[in-house]
Amino acid sequence: MEDKTKTGKKGKVFELICPHCGARLWVDSDLQAVIQSQKGEKKKASFDDLLLKEKKKSEELGQKFESTVELRKKKLEQAEQEFKKALNHIDELGEERGEDKDQTGQEGKEKN
């Protein structure tokens, strides 16, 4: 932190600059309070920096889109496999019931 002292009629006033945000604070040592503050100036980014940042964002967005598409394809394939399994299971159950009916003679007899 930078600090400068000013000696006035009331006492010492310290000017502090925050290293993180650049804000300026004036603190009175007698009152032990901040008597004035000023927001720090934001660094202005160059046009090239902004272009690079936007390019990275668009690349990341493209990658996210591609991964989302792949995930949807995988989920669709899994759903189709589960559906086929369920249909096969239903067919197997139907065949078993058909065999049971043939053994009892209900379905297997011909009518004269």
What does R_g of the chain's alpha carbons equal in angstroms? 39
**44-97 confidence digits (pLDDT tens):** 778 888 899 999 999 999 999 999 999 999 999 999 999 999 999 998 888 888
Rounded Cα distance between 49 and 62, Å, is: 20
Of 40 and 107, which is predicted with more confidence? 40
Residue ranges of the domains in the chain?
Answer: 2-38, 45-106
Predicted pLDDT at 73: 96
Whose structure tokens read 């009152």?
Answer: 31
Report whether pLDDT(3) > 70.
Answer: no
Listed in sequence order, the DSSP H helices in the chain are: 47-104
